[in-house]
Amino acid sequence: MTTERGRLMALGSIFGFPFSLRLVFWAPDMAYAEPDQPLGEDVIYPYRGVPVEFIRDESGEVRWCRLSGRIGRKG
7-44 per-position pLDDT tens digit = 788 777 767 777 777 888 999 999 988 876 655 555 55
Which 3 state secondary structure label does DSSP give 17?
strand
55 closest CA partner among 21, 30, 27, 22: 30
Q: What is the pLDDT of residue 61?
A: 93
Mean pLDDT of 34-63: 77
- What pLDDT shows up at residue 67? 80
pTM to 2 decimals? 0.68
